[in-house]
Amino acid sequence: MDKNEKTLKHRICIRMIICMGIFALIGAGIVRNLFREQVINHELRVAEAQEQTQVERNLQSPRGMILDRNGKVLAISEMSKSLYADPTMLNEDPAVVADLLAPYLRIPKDVIEHRLKEDTAFVWLDRQMDHEKYEAVESIIKEEKLHGLAFRDENRRFYPNGSMAAQVIGFVGENDHGLEGIEMMLDDEIRGSKQTFRLQTDNHNIPVFSSALKRILPDKERSVCLTLDSTIQYVAEKGLDGIMSRSHPFGASIIVMDPKTGEILAMASRPTYDPNDYSKGNKEAYKNRAVVNVYEPGSTFKPLMAAAALDSGKWHLGDIYHDKGSIHVADRTIYNWDHKGMGDVTLREIIMYSINTGMVHVAVTTGGKTLTNYARRFGFGTITGIELSGEQEGILFDPDKMSIVDTATMGIGQSIAVTPLQMVQAFSAIANGGHMMKPFLVKEIDNPDGSIYKKTEPKEVGQPINAGTAEAISKFMGEEVSIGGGQSAKIEGYRFGGKTGTAQKKTEDSTGYADGQYVGSFIGFGPLEDPRFLVLIVVDDPKGVYYGAQVAAPVFKEMMTEIVRMKGIRPTEEMNQKPVGPVVTTPARTIPPVHISSDGVLMPSFIGWSTREVNDWLNEAGLGFIPKGMGKAIQQSPKAGSYAPQGSDVTVIFKRNP
């Protein structure tokens, strides 16, 4: 081997060594970097990869059901689709996409376009879509091959009975939070819980395995069983609808309670709303008037004050008062509704015929401190603690500052303020042998497996009067309905007790009385042999007829006639008894049609008509109604045969047994 060959071989060896060194260094660097990335920075790189290829989804378990006492569904959750967009991934002009989606979404085209142009990776376009609209949008996305649009499963609350018991049940917002009623008060108990899952996404950021969510069954939540009876609730709602159509009041409410347990069987208010579309409601519609409204109870308060007088020993069943039609108390003169006296009367007649003068005398004899003490024992001046928000305490006098006039007006249910719920609680003592029961709505809360999580037991909250006093007042109230001033509430074949009431309506700031505005009410219970139902009907500012005996008592009769039959309660008295003597029939009255001309509305003769007949005719004629007294019509203005200007008021005087 010559010298040149040796030199060449040496150079090749050196070059090979250098290359091998270079490769060794590169390999060492690669190994070092792999060690750093795969071992030292492993968790960081995994997180980065997941961030780019996975998306996080929340799956919310369905909100618990709300049921009535018999298991009928009042509120239930159903799965619905919500549409969202990732504007950064759109493959089409936002204006074109907005034009395609607008017919199926609840927001206008310009709003859709604006959202699709936002500098964000997530924006809602529509939530909790109707199934038909979801299918239409899904079809458009597939046909147009749109990127950046997708759906999420969300719970939607559904109320199968529409507006029935709306103020009691309440409603749920878009984020599954209860906003009113039981939905709000028991939100923590029945709201669905969230579970989080991570899903692989494609290059358009759309979950590849979104169908996997459908195979994951979320945990069920607790359900709530209310004391409401849907059949009785329906009757109450129907009764309110009748009041609203006939009397056109500002509002009205009905409560039906079991006086022996305190269970609320029905609670309804007007105006109302549909919780399935709660955004169309308003403040007045959301208001549960049975719980939050305060009003002067008027004559419906008399039995309670009479009970206080008897129970305290300040008045006795045999005591007599001589009624002259008016009574002077300090500088005030208080009259009976018809300004007439009935002579010598006992407490029985005072209650039966709602004699203001007699009740004023009983109240003054009993004393303001005693009456206020009993009012508080009956639960007035404090909330009942029912499972609803906004309950009011009402207004009572300070017994140390009461004047004799305050005592007198309190005796006839004026100058104090109560809630409808307080009234039914108080009268449960009258109907239940002196034992007063706390009203409640939640019968029990059940676990998903059907076991009981929490159960409400009936609770006695006092015995404001003894059993003998309760029995006496119950008897008097029964006679008011059977032969006294409350006969418009009489139910054929059954013995019920009741009391009518009419009071002026207070102004909004409670500093005085609203001119020409009244609250008519009726409270009743029975059957007297074994009271199962206690009902209060309150009508706020009815137009035309406003006496409780005219706007509320007939509704009580209609409701209870239907309820006792639905519940299979047998009559205790003979129905449709045949008279001993010859039958004298009164032909049905023919109501004349309304005649309107350029002169106005031609007036018929109302003589002998009932208040309801007059009210119905005037309502159809578009005329106002100013009734005076009760019974049958004996006088009217304008007179029969004359013309009344359209929209004017008609005054009609009524009298019992003219």
Q: Which residue has the higher pLDDT, 508 or 389?
A: 389
Token pair for 527: 């059957």
Query: What pLDDT was estimated at residue 216?
Result: 42
By C-alpha distance, which of 389, 397, 392, 390 is closest to 415?
397
Predicted confidence band of residue 49 (pLDDT cuts 50, 70, 90) = low
Angle, CA 289 vertex, CA 284 and CA 294 arms, to 5°:
110
By C-alpha distance, which of 209, 402, 414 is closest to 305?
414
pLDDT digits (tens, 9 = 90+) for 292-306: 999 999 999 999 999
Does 596-655 match 232-280+293-566 at the fold level? no
> Which residues have a Cβ under 8 Å from the Cβ of 26 and sit 6 or more positions away?
none
Residue 48: in which H helix or E strand, if any? helix 42-53
pLDDT digits (tens, 9 = 90+) for 169-207: 999 987 788 999 999 999 998 886 655 555 555 555 555
Q: Which residue has the higher pLDDT, 1 or 91?
A: 91
Predicted confidence band of residue 506 (pLDDT cuts 50, 70, 90) = confident
Q: How confident is the prediction for the chain on average, in pLDDT?
A: 88
Query: What pLDDT was estimated at residue 563?
Result: 96
Give the 3-state secondary structure percentages of the chain, helix then strand then coil, rounded to 5. Answer: 40, 25, 40
Predicted confidence band of residue 81 (pLDDT cuts 50, 70, 90) = confident
Minimum mean pLDDT range among 7-11, 55-59, 634-638: 55-59
631 phi, psi to nearest 5 deg: 115, -130
pLDDT digits (tens, 9 = 90+) for 241-275: 999 999 999 999 999 999 999 999 999 999 999 99
By C-alpha distance, which of 84, 79, 81 is closest to 205?
84
> Is there a cis peptide before residue 527, judged by omega within 30 degrees of 0?
yes
By C-alpha distance, which of 557, 480, 559, 552 is closest to 518?
552
Query: What are the sequence ranges of the domains in the chain?
Result: 56-226, 232-280+293-566, 596-655
Predicted confidence band of residue 153 (pLDDT cuts 50, 70, 90) = confident
> Which residues have a Cβ under 8 Å from the Cβ of 303 and sit 6 or more positions away?
351, 427, 430, 473, 476, 477, 499
Query: What pLDDT was estimated at residue 509?
Result: 73
Predicted confidence band of residue 626 (pLDDT cuts 50, 70, 90) = confident
What is the Cα–Cα distance from 439 to 351, expressed in whole angstroms?
26
Predicted confidence band of residue 210 (pLDDT cuts 50, 70, 90) = very low
3-state secondary structure 176-241: CCECCHHHHHCHHHHCCCEEEEEEEECCCCCECCHHHHHHCCCCCCCEEEECCCHHHHHHHHHHHH
Predicted confidence band of residue 211 (pLDDT cuts 50, 70, 90) = very low
Q: Taking the CA of residue 398 as centre, how many other CA atoms within 13 Å lie in the half-sphere pointing to its CB?
A: 2
> Which residues have a Cβ under 8 Å from the Cβ of 169 and sit 6 or more positions away?
66, 74, 75, 159, 181, 182, 183, 275
Predicted confidence band of residue 215 (pLDDT cuts 50, 70, 90) = very low
Fold of 596-655: Trypsin Inhibitor V; Chain A (3.30.10)
Query: What pLDDT was estimated at residue 100?
Result: 92
Q: Region 424-428: what's the mean pLDDT? A: 98
SS3 519: strand
Q: Region 403-422: what's the mean pLDDT? A: 96
pTM score, two decimals? 0.77
By C-alpha distance, which of 323, 313, 317 is closest to 360?
323
Q: What percent of the chain has pLDDT over 70?
A: 88
Fold of 56-226: Penicillin-binding protein 2a (Domain 2) (3.90.1310)
- Residue 583, pLDDT > 50, answer no
558 phi, psi to nearest 5 deg: -60, -45
Query: What pLDDT was estimated at residue 276?
Result: 92
Token pair for 138: 């899904």
What is the Cα–Cα distance from 395 to 393, expressed in whole angstroms?
7
* 267 C-beta neighbours (distance < 10 Å), count: 29
* 197 C-beta neighbours (distance < 10 Å), count: 15
Query: What pLDDT was estimated at residue 15?
Result: 79
pLDDT digits (tens, 9 = 90+) for 407-416: 999 999 999 9
pLDDT digits (tens, 9 = 90+) for 443-482: 999 998 889 999 999 999 999 999 999 999 999 999 999 9
Q: Which CATH architecture has domain 232-280+293-566?
A: 3-Layer(aba) Sandwich (3.40)
Q: Region 45-50: what's the mean pLDDT? A: 59
- Residue 329, pLDDT > 80, answer yes
What is the Cα–Cα distance from 38 to 416, expressed in whole angstroms?
80
* β-bridge pairing 251-257 and 533-540: antiparallel
